[in-house]
Every structure is written in structure tokens, then in C-alpha cells.
Amino acid sequence: MRRSTGVCLVVLCLLITACGRLGTGLPGCRTPASEPNAATVLSLQAVPEAEYSPCINSLQLGWDEVDFQVERGLAQLEFEHGIESFLEVRLTPSCEIGGAIEVPSGIEGVSRHENVYQVTDAISVTIIPDGERSSVYAEGLAADLAGAHVDDRPVVFKVDADIDFSVRSRVNKALFTDQFVWIVNDLDIDDRTLEMRATPDGEGARGIEVDDALDRIEDMSEEIQYRGQWFFQFEGGCITYDFDAEGTLATSIAEDAEATLGFYPSSELRDAARDAGFDLIGEPTQ
């Protein structure tokens, strides 16, 4: 008996949910080319000119649900945690990369561009002393607070005591790379206080205690996040990864996406699908 996928593709296609596992309703990278499932064939036919189709190796812990949808000109995988979508993978005939930056793809014939906004796990604080005595105080603060965490995020302290530059220039330099700067002078030593500055506008407070400064960091820090796009362009198509992850998911989303997702050469799938008895539509032009 021959299996036809043409009707499904024309109408809408397919919407499949796989809860916490990689089932037969999803295109799998590890599925032998000689045994393509319906999802793999549908993805192949969505953009028949595309040299590659997206596929899944295995699902990561916390990647609770996957929706797979196909229509003419689009094959899409949507990954969810709870009820929130954090990653969409789309195969389309083309894509607009805008100002995305080119990075190595590791795949012959595939160009890769990224446009990502990332808030990393660690919070960085530069302590800037104004004088020799306060330099000792600054080093002591950094040592005492080593290993501190704010809202489950590690806080990394470093001291900039380079007296060849003014306090103002050191502050401006630190605010260019770090969100928080603590300034200490001789008057802060006895009271264990400091002046805090924070990006983006340099707002701050004077004469505050260390615990108060840590509380302010907790209130002002952005949640860990990874947002943006990866674009993979190749002959006949483009695969876009669209990220919107935050919290624990965001800490490893880039590495997890690399491990979870892959590309299946369409030529191999097309030959195998025919051999398996699938009726293919939308054959690429020669």
C-alpha cells in the first residue's frame, strides 16, 4: 500500500505534540534515511528546493513539549517549557538576516549568521578605590565577598586600583563592560560603606552599606536571558532558530540547541522516501 502525503501538505498540514520525548511524529536526525517517517517527508516537501531539512537528535531535560507544523513554504518546530515557547525552528525558502553577524557554520555549503542579545549567568562588579588606604579596603571587600550570589547568580568582584588613571576615567571604563561599579574612599572604611553606580545611565547612591548594595544589585539585575536568531542559509532555503529563553533554560540554551537540532540532507531523504513508498509532491527543479 502506498502512502500519500500530498493532501496533508496542501491543507495545513500537520500539528503534532510530543510530550518530553521524540516520537514518530517528529523529524528525527537519527532516523535511518532508509526509514523516513511522515513528519520527515512532510518537512522535506514544505520547501522542496531546500538542500537541508531540520531534524531533532534528542530532547533536553526541561524541553517539555514540541509542536511540529508544516504548510507549503514552511516547516516549523516550536519548543515549549511549561506553557511558554522558548525556541522556534523554521525552514523557509529564504530569510532576511539584517545586521546579523556571520560565524562559522561547520557545515559545507551553509552560511551562518547570528543576532543575539544575551544576559549571562554571572554578575560583574568592579570596585574602584580612591586612594591607598581605600585600596586595602577594596581588596578586603572583594576577598570577603568572594563566592557571593544574588538571586542564585554568582557575583564576581574585581578591583581596579590603577592610580595612573583618575577615578572618573576608571568608572567610565568599568561601566562600559560591567553593570555595577562600587567606588570607595577613606571615609567609607570605618563605616563599611560605598558609592554604587549602575548602567545604563550611571545612576547610583552614596554612603550605602554593603548589604544594601547587594540588595540593590538584586533589584536592578536583569534575569538571565538568551534572545535573538541564528540563520543558516544554503541552496534553496534557510533554517532560522528564533530564541526567547530566560532563567535556567537560558543558561545553556545555545549548547542545548546545538546538541538537540541538526540538518538532514534533503537529497538522501528524497531518495529514501521514494524507496519507502511515499508519493512526493513539489519535486525540486533540475
pLDDT in tens, 56-74: 988 888 898 999 999 999 9
CATH topology of domain 123-220: Rossmann fold (3.40.50)
Give the Cβ contact number of residue 10 at 10 Å. 12
Please indicate whether residue 93 or residue 248 has the higher confidence score (pLDDT): 93
Span 166-217, pLDDT tens digits: 999 999 899 888 889 999 999 999 899 999 998 756 567 899 999 999 999 9
Would the pLDDT of 24 be above 60? no
Q: How many residues does the chain have?
A: 286
pLDDT the model gives residue 10 = 32
Residues 6+ apart with CB under 8 A from 94: 233, 237, 238
**What are the residue boundaries of the structural domains of the chain, listed by start?**
3-117+226-279, 123-220
Q: Is 262 strand, coil or helix?
A: strand
Residue 272 backbone class (left: φ over 0; alpha: ψ -120 to 50; beta: rest): alpha
pLDDT of residue 119: 81
Average pLDDT over residues 43-48: 85
DSSP 3-state assignment of 172?
Answer: helix
pLDDT at position 26 is: 86
Residue 210 Cα distances to 83, 145, 183, 204, angstroms: 39, 10, 12, 14
- Predicted TM-score (pTM) of this structure: 0.67
State yes or no: pLDDT of 268 exceeds 90: no
Nearest to 73 by CA among 9, 17, 3, 26: 9
Q: What was the pLDDT predicted at 277?
A: 65
Q: Which residue has the cell 498540514?
A: 13
Q: Helix, strand or coil for residue 236?
A: coil
pLDDT at position 233 is 98
Round to whole Å and give the CA distance between 252 and 98. 25
Calculate mean pLDDT across residues 249-276. 84
Confidence of residue 275 (pLDDT cuts 50, 70, 90): low
Q: Which residue has the higher pLDDT, 213 or 122?
A: 213
Q: Cα–Cα distances in Å, from 84 out to 67, 79, 153?
A: 12, 9, 22
| 28-29-34-38 Cα dihedral, nearest 10 degrees | 30
Residue 11 reports pLDDT greater than 50: no
